[in-house]
Amino acid sequence: MANLKVPTIAIIIGEGSSGGALAIGIGNHVIMLENAIYSILSPEGYASIVWKDGSKAQEAAQEMKLTAQDLYDLQVIDKIIKEDKNIFNNIKKEIITKLDELKDKTGEEIRNERYDKFRHMGKYEIDEKENENAIKK
C-alpha cells in the first residue's frame, strides 16, 4: 500500500488491531471515531507479554495510548469524528473534503506525502538536561 499512487483514506470505526493496524497507519488520511481504539496488539496481549498477566489489560490500555485522543496527540491519526446523531454525515463530509484536497496531486506527490507522514508520525520529548548528562558520561 505504501507505494500506491492513489489516495488512501482509512476509517477506524471500532477496534483496529493486529497486522491490519499497520496497513491502516499508512493511509494519506486516517480518521477515527471518538470511541474507537487502534493498536497493533490488544491490551490483553500486551499485558500477557509485558507482565505475564492478561488481567492487567486496563493498565496496559493506558500505557499503550490507543484511544482516538491519544493517537491524535501523537500524530498517528489525522481526525477524530464525534459519535453523535450526525456520525455518518460527518464521515462522508470528511472523506469528500480529503478527496477534494488530494484530487489534483500527482501520484508521486500522493505517495511521497504518505511516506513523509508515516516517517514523522508519533512524537516524543527529550529532557535536554538528561540528554546533556548522558553525552558528558
Write down the pLDDT at residue 97. 95
Write down the pLDDT at residue 81. 96
pLDDT digits (tens, 9 = 90+) for 13-30: 988 777 777 778 888 999
| Cross-sheet strand order for the sheet of 9-12 | 9-12, 29-33, 79-81
Write down the pLDDT at residue 15. 81
Q: Where are the domains of the chain?
A: 9-136
Write down the pLDDT at residue 117. 86
9-136 classified as CATH 3.20.20.70: no
pLDDT digits (tens, 9 = 90+) for 66-121: 999 999 998 899 999 999 999 999 999 999 999 999 999 999 999 999 988 888 87
DSSP 81: E
Write down the pLDDT at residue 108. 95
Cβ burial, residue 124 (10 Å; 0-12/13-18/19+): exposed
Which helix (H) or strand (E) is 76 found in, with range?
none
Asked if the model's pLDDT at residue 137 lies above 60, the reply is: no
pLDDT digits (tens, 9 = 90+) for 25-50: 888 999 999 999 988 888 899 999 99
Write down the pLDDT at residue 129. 62
**How far apart are the C-alpha atoms of 72 and 74, rounded to whole Å?**
5
Q: Whole-prediction pTM value?
A: 0.79
